[in-house]
Chains A and B, each alone.
Chain A
Amino acid sequence: MRFLPTEEHRGFAASLDRLLTAADVPTVARAWASGDVAPGRKLWSRLVDQGVTALLLAEEDGGAGATMVDATIAFEQLGRHLVPGPWIESAAYLPVLGVPLDPEQMTTVAVPPLTPYAVDAQVADRVLVVTGDAVHTGVVGAALASIDTTRTLHEVTPDGAPVTHTGDPAKALDAAVLACSAQLLGLGERMLHEAVGYVKQRRQFGREIGSYQAIKHALADVRIGLDFARPLIAGAAVGFDGPERTRDCAAAKVGAAEAADRAMRTALQVHGAIGYTAELDLSLALLKTRALVGAWGNPTHHRGVVLARLEAPCTSA
């Protein structure tokens, strides 16, 4: 038993963190939101070079043969750095579904009823629709603006041309749920970091506002929420090939969504009015958090999934 990230895991996280820190992702994300997707495509290619889209591809399909633990580490960094694009679709859902994929390509997918719209279909190289066990190429319809300006949602209809797949759609859905959870964890960590930085320098009534208990206790609660969401994600990743996969991925989404939502509300609150501006990069994180809380099944949905699956007691090991 060693329920901690290994040196390799930490190294992988650190290398993605360095790459993304240097890439000025907020600027890339703002361009993406305004329709200039070139910087975002460039960043996509750099992450493809790091193997992010190949993590969950089977080795015979040109994949890295990595584990779900590696994938959640990557998704936490994607979340933390506000990286735009259909990552959950291209790097989690579709690889596990076993659709023949070119790791270089940006692919998006709609999986009604839980995920009725294909995100970023206007940029994607390929658009798919999954209904039940059937996968089809999708015909892109109307675009809808998301609350997260870096996501554009598209109606899609199956065009009739079936696409082969070797994986289980239920397992692919769980992979998407878990990837989304890890992204939310990363977003939560980012927002907490920004909030802590702000309250240490902002002074009112002659003191840093971070010295007031009202602020301290709110931020401590954010820390607690994130610290207990993390093991739910790691546990679901470790047990991804086990019998409780769906239950554990759903639990991870509930924990991560709740923790990220608390981080979001608290980060906004302690920033005051400046937090409510589009100008501050915090806004990108706030809006993405709200979008991802609801994406791939909201917490209410996943609480239902957990409860429905609670047959066995939660004994470890």
Chain B
Amino acid sequence: MDLDLTPDEVAFRDEARDWLARHVPATPLPSMDTEAGFRAHQEWEAQLSQAHWSVVSWPTEFGGRESSLTEWVLFEEEYYRAGAPGRVSQNGIFLLAPIIFEHGTPEQQRRFLPSMGSGERIWAQAWSEPEAGSDLASLSSTATRDEDRGGWVLNGQKTWSSRAAYAHWGFGLFRSDPTAARHAGLTYFLFPLDAAGVTVRPIPQLDGEAGFAELFFDNVFVPDADVLGAPGDGWRVAMSTAGNERGLSLRSPGRFCAAADRLVELHRTSDVGRAEHAGRVADAWIKARAYQLYTWGTVSQLVDGGDIGAAGSVNKVFWSELDVALHETALDLLGPAGEVESGWTDGYLFSLSGPIYAGTNEIQRNIIAERILGLPREPKGERR
């Protein structure tokens, strides 16, 4: 049992650290949820991509370095440590790409991955619907077969679609067989957001910026070439472990350490409330450290050939609550200045979304209780 890196891993980490130190913008980019900020973040992605840092674990033919899992995680850790910009391409590179690698045809891989990795084409997710949130499998947007044109016609509405206000393409599930049971009869589609019949209505988030949008589908044609996996197999494709592991469960081990270190510094230099908040400051740092060590344990398990499974839910509840607590502590330490707009208020507002997105923490606790602790399933209400 150890936390030691090999000489190759150290060299990789140092190369990443060095590049990031020289290239990370000195002043933060404007919010990626504004038009100008979105473009600025795309330019940053292009810069990363040119130096082959945007998707290090991908095959070289798609712009990657074929890095090992450990190296990828080391890069993520350096990325957070350097305070580099948020990844405007993350829906694509973290959530969709693993699924395209696992279920996409070679033609789809060639067509979609390079522009995704370079940040040229930004992807938005289209999962939730007005009546299908936590109960995603009850979704009702439809895909109707169009044999003449060799494809499908999409109708319905998606919502809370992250990045969709400015993104280029979307991915999501539609009901292609209305007679099949809930999870069956769903198909995974890829579609351009400027396709005929797609209407994008941006929704301002708590900070006033359009971080997500509603999508309306009015007879939107999608050719067979843009179906991911087999028709009717969409649920299985969407839930495939790779997407969950890299995108949601496995992130930079140090992703809360930088904020925790800043919180410690804020506490050290604070004039008011030092003694009062000391315990919470220590707790935030300890939890950031626990997250870091836990994540290295997860990496070791995956390297050993294990999978994350329901432990991803344990992880999600922990980090999302830590993120809120950390930022709340900072705002409290700032006293009356806590409401003044700053990196801390931005971080606080962002942290408030954590317990909700990617499966609410209530759903995660159900998963922990049922799949890890083995408690009986709760009787379900009437289905759709």
A233 to B364, CA, bound (A): 25
Selected interface stretch from B46-54, B109-117, B204-212, B285-293: B285-293
Selected interface stretch from B125-133, B217-225, B365-373: B365-373
B299 at the interface (CB under 8 A from A): yes
Residue of A nearest to B263 (CB): A310
- Chain B residues lying within 8 Å of A282, measured Cβ to Cβ, are none
A217 to B250, CA, bound (A): 23
Task: Assess the A2–B2 pair: CB atoms within 8 A.
Answer: yes
Q: Hey, what's the 0/1 contact readout for B305-318 against A, CB within 8 Å counting as 1?
A: 00000010010011
- Chain B residues lying within 8 Å of A237, measured Cβ to Cβ, are 1
Task: Assess the A1–B296 pair: CB atoms within 8 A.
Answer: yes
A231 to B373, CA, bound (A): 20
Task: Assess the A9–B314 pair: CB atoms within 8 A.
Answer: no
Find the residue from B2, B257, B287 having the highest chain A CB count within 10 A: B2
Residue of B nearest to A231 (CB): B293
B340 at the interface (CB under 8 A from A): no
A199 at the interface (CB under 8 A from B): yes
B375 at the interface (CB under 8 A from A): yes
B136 at the interface (CB under 8 A from A): no
Find the residue from A5, A208, A212, A254 having the highest chain B CB count within 10 A: A254
The interface on chain A, measured as residues whose beta carbon lies within 8 A of the other chain's beta carbons, has a size of 51
How far apart are A26's CB and chain B's nearest CB, in angstroms?
23
Residue of A nearest to B290 (CB): A228
Task: Assess the A314–B261 pair: CB atoms within 8 A.
Answer: yes
Task: Assess the B299–A219 pair: CB atoms within 8 A.
Answer: no
Taking CB atoms and an 8 Å cut-off, the chain B residues in 68-86 that contact chain A are 70, 77, 81
Task: Assess the A306–B282 pair: CB atoms within 8 A.
Answer: yes
A207 to B376, CA, bound (A): 9
Task: Assess the A224–B378 pair: CB atoms within 8 A.
Answer: no
What is the interface of chain A mostly: helix, strand, loop, or mixed?
helix
Taking CB atoms and an 8 Å cut-off, the chain A residues in 276-317 that contact chain B are 300, 303-304, 306-307, 310, 313-317
A316 to B17, CA, bound (A): 13
Task: Assess the B376–A307 pair: CB atoms within 8 A.
Answer: no
Task: Assess the B369–A216 pair: CB atoms within 8 A.
Answer: yes
A251 at the interface (CB under 8 A from B): yes
- Chain A residues lying within 8 Å of B366, measured Cβ to Cβ, are 213, 216-217, 220
A199 to B378, CA, bound (A): 13
A161 at the interface (CB under 8 A from B): no
A38 at the interface (CB under 8 A from B): no
Task: Assess the B318–A228 pair: CB atoms within 8 A.
Answer: yes
A50 at the interface (CB under 8 A from B): no
Taking CB atoms and an 8 Å cut-off, the chain A residues in 222-246 that contact chain B are 223-224, 227-232, 234-235, 237-239
Task: Assess the B2–A3 pair: CB atoms within 8 A.
Answer: yes
A220 to B368, CA, bound (A): 6
How far apart are A212's CB and chain B's nearest CB, in angstroms?
7
- Chain A residues lying within 8 Å of B258, measured Cβ to Cβ, are 313
Find the residue from A213, A224, A235, A239 having the highest chain B CB count within 10 A: A224
Task: Assess the A251–B1 pair: CB atoms within 8 A.
Answer: no
A215 to B260, CA, bound (A): 32
Residue of A nearest to B258 (CB): A313
User: Are A314 and B289 also in contact (CB < 8 A) when A227-B311, A254-B283 are?
Assistant: yes
- Chain B residues lying within 8 Å of A2, measured Cβ to Cβ, are 1-2, 300, 303-304
Task: Assess the A303–B279 pair: CB atoms within 8 A.
Answer: yes
How far apart are A124's CB and chain B's nearest CB, in angstroms?
32
Task: Assess the B1–A9 pair: CB atoms within 8 A.
Answer: yes
A211 at the interface (CB under 8 A from B): yes
15 A-B residue contacts at CB 8 Å? A4-B1, A4-B304, A9-B1, A213-B366, A216-B378, A217-B365, A219-B373, A220-B372, A221-B317, A231-B296, A238-B3, A251-B285, A307-B278, A313-B258, A317-B3
